[in-house]
Amino acid sequence: MTDRLLSPDEMEAALRQIGATRYHHLHPFHEMLHTGQCSRDQVRAWALNRYCYQRIIPLKDAALLARMDDTVLRRVWRQRIHDHDGEIGDAPEGGLRRWLALTDGLGLDRDYVTSMEGALPAVRFACEAYVNYVKERSLLEAIASSLTEMFSPMIISIRVRGMLANYDFITEDILRYFGHRLSEAPRDADFALDYVKRHATTVETQRAALKALEFKCSMLWAQLDALQHVYVNGAAAPGAWAPGVAIVEQAA
Amino acid sequence: MTDRLLSPDEMEAALRQIGATRYHHLHPFHEMLHTGQCSRDQVRAWALNRYCYQRIIPLKDAALLARMDDTVLRRVWRQRIHDHDGEIGDAPEGGLRRWLALTDGLGLDRDYVTSMEGALPAVRFACEAYVNYVKERSLLEAIASSLTEMFSPMIISIRVRGMLANYDFITEDILRYFGHRLSEAPRDADFALDYVKRHATTVETQRAALKALEFKCSMLWAQLDALQHVYVNGAAAPGAWAPGVAIVEQAA
């Protein structure tokens, strides 16, 4: 981690270096997911658990918005809440609703998914830690923690292409969440990156911003670790979703 | 989970049933630990990570104390903070200091341990979730979540006997944390159990108290899952402690 003041370009490079070494595109569960090595139940477990993460995105953005004392900044940031929550009447639907199109498409009971009853505790704890991080840290750290968006387009393209090619139960329609993120994420990441480069202007704040991105990578990583431990390696998980539970009959 | 009102004895039985099926004495990492199947580095990883849990015990008890509007209750509950924090000048030392005697005895650098830099994110998230649970839920739920103390004497006896018998780097002195807990935990558990039985007098509050104990079991379980995934199964853990790191030379 840096012990001298970085130029804005060096700061960006240091942030990108964290992505290159700690973002969850390096996690073995992702490799399994897009190369077709997951069973349908493993894909279900992933979608069910990741609902916990999707759920907190508008919550953490609202918490962030509540700490911004600058109208100009709030006008920009509120778009993220629109993107995830959609508009009244689901027209258009938002990211959270699109995620439920995936869990619906995988045959998971929607009430069960949104209850998070069957989600892994470690996944819920990681998501809760993210919301608290955004509430408790500096605005700069909270914004810097969103910078995993810089890396998500890369993983989304590989994932969508791989899942469509490798699973007959996956369709473009149920993966529609990701298509929207491909345009939303770079716009959001560009804004946040610019903000961080302009506001992290001391050794201390640069270090804090880099740590914030490391934290965010760790909460994404922890979610996949928990999935892999239980649904790939077969560890016992008292109370967690098991194959066959909360499956809705449907036309494939 | 209950859908009719339980008698106090039935309530106690339902709480004990949660312990019998979800407490972390059932976790495979514990079996490894006390049967001598852990390497010294695996024992170090356990002690280092569990510091995060020891650290938050007085914090969660202080948060609980801060919500008790009854002097009589506070007089009892504050003893837990004394037990874990000890007295000024470490005379006597408290539980947290005793835990550091274990990490010291395992040759881990104390500043590194207390910085929690090398702790697994999943462990830190689980501990944070516990503190927040106690802050945000009802007083009854917060107190019920402490009831894992009902089950800890069982695991402590097995662990201490097993670790002393199976590891030449473990001594009674560095395990002294556990000896004290054998007398403290039953006293604390008896009080909390009595409180829960007297205050959980509706179907809703009984259900909430049972859920609280399930939650607590899940945060203990998640810590061992994370340890097992990384330090037994060998999963990558960016930034986490690795064998050889922060080891202090010492006379064995």
Question: What confidence tens digit (pLDDT) does each residue in A234-249 have?
Answer: 999 999 999 999 999 7
Question: What confidence tens digit (pLDDT) does each residue in A122-133 have?
Answer: 999 999 999 999
Measure CB to CB from residue B221 to each of A26, A124, A238 and give the nearest one.
A238
Question: What confidence tens digit (pLDDT) does each residue in A39-90 have?
Answer: 999 999 999 999 999 999 999 999 999 999 999 999 999 999 999 999 999 8
Residues of chain B in contact with residue A25, where contact means CB-CB under 8 angstroms, are none
Q: Is some CB atom of chain B closer than 8 A to the CB atom of A26? A: yes
| Amino acid A59: pLDDT | 97
Q: Is some CB atom of chain B closer than 8 A to the CB atom of A25? A: no
Q: Is some CB atom of chain A closer than 8 A to the CB atom of B235? A: yes
- In the structure, what pLDDT confidence band is assigned to residue A251 with cuts at 50, 70 and 90? very low
User: What length is written for chain B?
Assistant: 252
Q: Inter-chain contact B222–A219, Cβ cutoff 8 Å?
A: no
Provide the 10 A C-beta neighbour count for residue B252.
Answer: 7
Q: What is the mean pLDDT of residues A166-177?
A: 96
Q: Inter-chain contact B222–A21, Cβ cutoff 8 Å?
A: no
- Please tell me the distance from the alpha carbon of residue A206 to that of residue A213, in angstroms, as a whole number: 11
Q: Is some CB atom of chain B closer than 8 A to the CB atom of A228? A: yes
Across the A:B interface, residue pairs with CB atoms under 8 Å apart total 87
The backbone torsions φ and ψ at residue A228, rounded to the nearest 5 degrees and listed phi first, read -65, -40
* Portion 103-132 of A in contact with B at CB < 8 A: 121-122, 124-126, 128-129, 132
Contacts of A95 by beta carbon, 8 Å cutoff, 6+ apart: A54, A57, A83, A84, A85, A86, A177, A180, A181, A184
**Do the Cβ atoms of A26 and A100 come closer than 8 Å?**
no
Q: What is the mean pLDDT of residues A138-164?
A: 96
pLDDT score of A252 more than 60: no
Q: Smallest Cα–Cα separation from B51: which of B104, B105, B119? A: B119
pLDDT score of A115 more than 60: yes
Provide the 10 A C-beta neighbour count for residue B35.
Answer: 13
Count of alpha carbons within 13 angstroms of residue B18, beta-carbon side:
26
Round the CA-based radius of gyration of chain A to a whole number and report it.
18
**Do the Cβ atoms of A22 and A217 come closer than 8 Å?**
yes
Residue of B nearest to A123 (CA): B122
- Please tell me the distance from the alpha carbon of residue B119 to that of residue B10, in angstroms, as a whole number: 39
Torsion of CA B127, B136, B154, B47, to 10 degrees: 10
Regions of chain B with pLDDT less than 70: 1-2, 250-252
Q: What is the mean pLDDT of residues A142-171?
A: 96
| Amino acid B90: pLDDT | 87
| Amino acid B1: pLDDT | 67
The backbone torsions φ and ψ at residue B108, rounded to the nearest 5 degrees and listed phi first, read -85, 140
- Please tell me the distance from the alpha carbon of residue B155 to that of residue B151, in angstroms, as a whole number: 7
The ipTM value here is 0.92
Mean pLDDT of chain A: 96
Query: What pTM does this model have?
Result: 0.94
- In the structure, what pLDDT confidence band is assigned to residue A175 with cuts at 50, 70 and 90? very high
Q: Is some CB atom of chain B closer than 8 A to the CB atom of A98? A: no
| Amino acid A2: pLDDT | 66
Chain position carrying tokens 């697994």: B120
pLDDT score of A91 more than 90: no
